[in-house]
Amino acid sequence: MAKKLGLVLGSGAARGWAHVGVLRGLKEIGVEPEIIAGCSVGALVGGAYVIGALDEFESWARELKPLSALERFTLKVRRGGLIDTAPAFDAFRSHDKKIEDLAVKFVAVAADLATGEEVAITTGSVIDAARASSAIPIIFHSVEHEGRWFVDGALANPAPVSHARAMGADIVLAVDLNAVPRVLDWFDAPAPSLPVSTPAPAPKPGLSGAVAKLIEETRGGVKRQFDLAKARADAAPHLFETAYAAADIFQMHLARARARTDPPDILLRPDMRDAMPTAFDRADEFIEEGRKGLLDVRTELEALLER
């Protein structure tokens, strides 16, 4: 009998674009998950996959620019948060399906605001379930789903391996995006000196598109390193940076604790230390990071599925 692969997509805000790369990598090697358990952005990406809207979702993610993600939301101080995410989710409403009608088993993990308990959402609208699972407290509105108020599932189970097992997965591949949290390095000791930045020359007219793109990506990477060095030299915690760091610390330790009691067969821990949780405009890089991480464990995964 063929073994069932359960894919666990963990929380991580903008780092979650890496989940798209993991799904692309699985398709590349001809492996399809039969069960997807998602938390927060993992529920969002997993939900897009199970309703057949991953291509549209990826196109939307790749087109985002700095702060442009906020244009999809509505600022309303109510329901325990600042931002209403409904407009962004409604853009994909035409693709929505009921979880119980899906070909792939799907569960979105959220936290019940009334009891604090972790809840596995396995019925109803996929989009509503994903929205409930990713309702970051204070920032996003709490979400009412089937008579209960939910907030981000990362408060209870950032990488829900236990739910993939409970739904019948024989082999579990989990993606933990908070294993190497970049935001914690932000407040490290100042760098002793800063290198002098020399602008890279613009691509010559005769260069091919691929070479020009490589030059541009290299220039962007170098600039980020200079920016990081300067930021570390001037580092002092501010309000939202402190909130990011606190969330990273919490999710990192909770994910580690849950992994000890519910270990996956394969754990992907993409190095996202250069990824702020709000870097929604870096989808290209994060998607590729997820794809490479999956391909790195291809041999191990195929061996487990065939054993």
Catalytic residue among 40, 125, 133, 162: 40
176 is catalytic: no
**Residue among 74, 118, 122, 125 nearest 96 (CA):** 125
Q: Phi and psi of 78, rounded to 5°?
A: -160, 170
Instruction: Reduce the DSSP state of residue 93 to 3 states and report it.
Output: helix
Half-sphere exposure of 15 (CA within 13 A, CB side): 26
Q: What is the DSSP letter of 149?
A: E
**Residue among 302, 272, 300 nearest 288 (CA):** 272
Query: Under a CB-based contact definition with an 8 Å cutoff, are residues 173 and 270 in contact?
Result: no
Query: Under a CB-based contact definition with an 8 Å cutoff, are residues 119 and 110 in contact?
Result: yes
N-to-C CA span, the chain: 11
Helices (H), the chain: 17-28, 41-50, 54-63, 86-90, 126-133, 161-166, 209-233, 239-261, 283-296, 298-306
Q: In this structure, what token pair is assigned to residue 141?
A: 């509105």
40 is catalytic: yes
Catalytic residue among 11, 84, 128, 152: 152
Active site residue ranges: 40, 152
